[in-house]
Amino acid sequence: MDELHWKTAITSVEPNRIALRGYPIDRLMGTISFSQGIYLALKGELPDEKIGRMIDAILVSSIDHGATPPSILAARTVASTGAPLSSAIAAGVLAISRLHGGAIEEGMEQMLSVARRADAEKISEAEAAARVVAEAKATKKRLSGFGHRIHTDDPRSKRLFDPSGELCLAGRHLNIAAALEEALAASSGKRLPLNVDGAIAAVLCDLGFPTSVANAFFILSRVAGMVAHIEEERHREKPMRRIHPSDHEYDGPTGREVK
C-alpha cells in the first residue's frame, strides 16, 4: 500500500461489478432517470420520483437560451476552428463563471443567509429578508436571482414555483425567495421578479445541496444546448467565419405544442 493511499465513497469497481453509491449500475440503468442518477452521484441517496421530476425540470429549463450567451459563443468560436468536440465544450464551460450562471450560487448564499438570520435573530423570514435587502442597498451590492435583461416575467421560474403545479416543493427557501422579492420591491419601488437562476437557487437550497455544486446543474444543462450549437456550427456554417454575437435570427419550427 502506497503512502499516498486514499479513499473514495462514490463508485466501487470490481470485475463485472460496478456500483454507484452502493447500487449496481446495471440495475440503475433502465430503472432511474439520468436526473435521478445525477442526484444519486452528488448526494449519495436515490431521490424519490417527485424530486427526480424537479431535477428534470431544472435541467430542462436551462438547456438553451439562444446563441447570445458567452458560453455558446465561446463554444461556437472554438468549434469553428476545427477543434474536437471536447475542446469546444471545455471553452463553453469556462465561460460559465461569476457573471454567467454564477447567480445560482450567489442566490443560494443569499437565501441561506436569510434563513440563518431568521433563526439566529429569532425574527420572521420577511423581516430577515428586509434586513438583508437593506444591507445590500447600503453597501451597493446587487441581489442575485431577480430581474432579467429580456424577460419581465420569466416563464421558467413561474413554472418551477406554480403552487398549483405538481412540481412545486413548497419548501422554506421558496418562501424566502418570495420574501426577498417583496422586500426588494418595497425598498426600490420596482418589482423585479425572481428569475430562473433565483428559482433554481431556491430549489437547490430546499433539496439541501451545498452552494459549491450550484453551478454544476447549470453546466450540465447548458452542455446539452452547447452540443446542439457546436453541431449546428459545424454542419451549417463555414469554418473560421466571424460570428456576430447577436445579429442572428431563428429559422426553425415554431408553435409546436407539448402534448
- Judged by CB under 8 A, the chain residues 180 through 239 that form the site for its own copies are 210, 212-213, 215-216, 219-221, 223-225, 227-229, 231-232, 234-237, 239
For its own copies, which stretch binds (CB under 8 A), given 33-41, 106-114, 122-130, 178-186?
A: 33-41
Nearer to its own copies, 108 or 130 (CB): 108
Q: Closest approach of Cβ 204 to its own copies, in Å?
A: 13
Close Cβ partners of 80 (under 8 Å, ≥ 6 residues apart): 233, 237, 239, 240, 241, 243
Q: What is the CA radius of gyration of the chain?
A: 21
Under rule CB under 8 A, residue 94 binds its own copies: yes
Candidate residues 12, 119, 134, 188; the one interacting with its own copies per rule CB under 8 A: 12
Under rule CB under 8 A, residue 112 binds its own copies: no
All three cell numbers of 229, joined, read 450549437
Q: Closest approach of Cβ 194 to its own copies, in Å?
A: 14
Burial label for 138, CB within 10 Å (0-12, 13-18, 19+), is exposed
* Residue 95: C-alpha distances to residues 32, 72, 105, 117 (Å): 31, 9, 15, 33
Residue with cell 444546448: 225
Under rule CB under 8 A, residue 140 binds its own copies: no
Q: Closest approach of Cβ 247 to its own copies, in Å?
A: 4
